[in-house]
Homo-oligomer: A and B are copies of this chain.
Amino acid sequence: MAFRASVVRLNRAIVYTQNGDPAQVLRALTYKPLPPPAPETVNIKYLLAPINPSDVNVVQGVYPAKPSLTSLVDGQPDVFVGGNEGLAEVTHVGSGVTDLVKGDWVVMTKAQAGTWSSSRNVGVLDVLKLPRVEGLTEVHGATMTVNPPSAYNMLNDYVALEKDEWVVQNGANSAVGQAVIQIAASRGFKTLNLVRKRSDIDELTRKLKDLGATEVLTYDDLNDRNLTQRIVKEWTGGKGIRLGLNCVSGPDTTSMARLLGQDAYLVSYGAMSKQPLALPTGLFIFKNLTSVGFWQSRWYKQKTRSDKENLFKTLATLIGHGKASPEHEIVTIPAEDSDEVAGQKVREIFAKIAEGQYGKKVLLKIAGSE
């Protein structure tokens, strides 16, 4: 998709000035074409940017990470631009930039970059080139920096798993959960995947097994002590599982922890039950359990640029060659809409999300006018 530099292009972003319910506080704001990029920066055009659950919390002001205030329109108050994750295309390259060219795909390595916008100017160190691997779609690229790396790093950073070793996870049907299944399968690990009991459990089981899941059970299944003992005894030769991934917490996670063996890690990255993580103290003392939390934003802060480049090379290949794409719906906000109409559309999307009316991930495509 070529950029015609000669055409005046107005931009638009989804912004807010006060924290609150996104269905109330978000609005659309048109701003002027970007000037040519300063040295060591690039202008980028966002192709797609997802609405993740944590984005809602950021707008509400209840998330530990916050965007910075940005000046988009001269003479108007600074705003927060929504959106943390997204895929963009490089449109103009500033002087001194050596590793990006026009047309490159980039993803954000800086948190809360304000991805719900059409075009922005960013520092070269705040983005990373995404290799254009065959099979890698825009949707893959737009959902590449939070869930797949969380899955990859949690599988990689805590326990040196051997081939055919088991990993247990709850919330297995979440975006991270599905990424865990695929990445684990590609690396030869077995996964025990726990999900809520539901009417379509057979269908869900089939879907997760198609992605590469070894076994799928419900939280209720784990109340059967005979089953959990049999899992530990027969599946793991009595050793128990050395890595558990948790995005649920509450009693169901306590049951899951019974499957863990000596020296295991329980890595938490969410708490969908909104209950604390409660574990028998004896697991820590006598089984040497370590309980930690994983936050991809911290990983980005702590790791070097070369760590990040390596990760995205690996993930682009894994995901491009993989079978799965996140279930999604793309919502385009056309350039022709006025800011009033566009803002109304966006607020309605968030109202629907709050009511649980989307079963899949919503990706925004904020068009600029040309």
Contacts and interface: CB of A to CB of B under 8 A. Distances in A.
Interface stretch (A122-130, A279-287, A305-313, A343-351): A279-287
Contacts of A276: 254, 278-281
Nearest to A257: B276
A9 B298 CA distance: 66
A268 interface: yes
Contact of A285 (B254, B270, B286, B289): B270
A interface secondary structure, majority = mixed
- Find the residue from A269, A287, A293 having the highest chain B CB count within 10 A: A293
Contact of A295 (B268, B286, B298): B286
Nearest to A269: B285
A35 interface: no
Given A254-B276, A276-B254, A289 B281 contact: no
Q: How many residues of A sit at the interface, in one of the four size bands?
A: 20 to 34
Contact of A281 (B254, B277, B287): B277
Interface in A231-280: 246, 249, 254, 268-271, 276-280
B281 A285 contact: no
A330 interface: no
Given A276-B279, A276-B281, 20 more contacts: A64-B286, A246-B281, A268-B284, A269-B285, A271-B280, A271-B281, A276-B278, A276-B280, A277-B280, A278-B278, A279-B291, A282-B293, A284-B293, A285-B294, A287-B293, A288-B292, A289-B292, A289-B293, A290-B290, A290-B292
Interface of A: 64, 246, 249, 254, 268-271, 276-295, 298
24 contacts: A64-B282, A249-B281, A254-B276, A268-B284, A268-B285, A270-B285, A271-B281, A276-B280, A277-B278, A277-B280, A277-B281, A277-B284, A278-B278, A279-B291, A283-B293, A284-B292, A285-B294, A287-B293, A288-B293, A288-B295, A289-B292, A290-B292, A291-B291, A291-B292
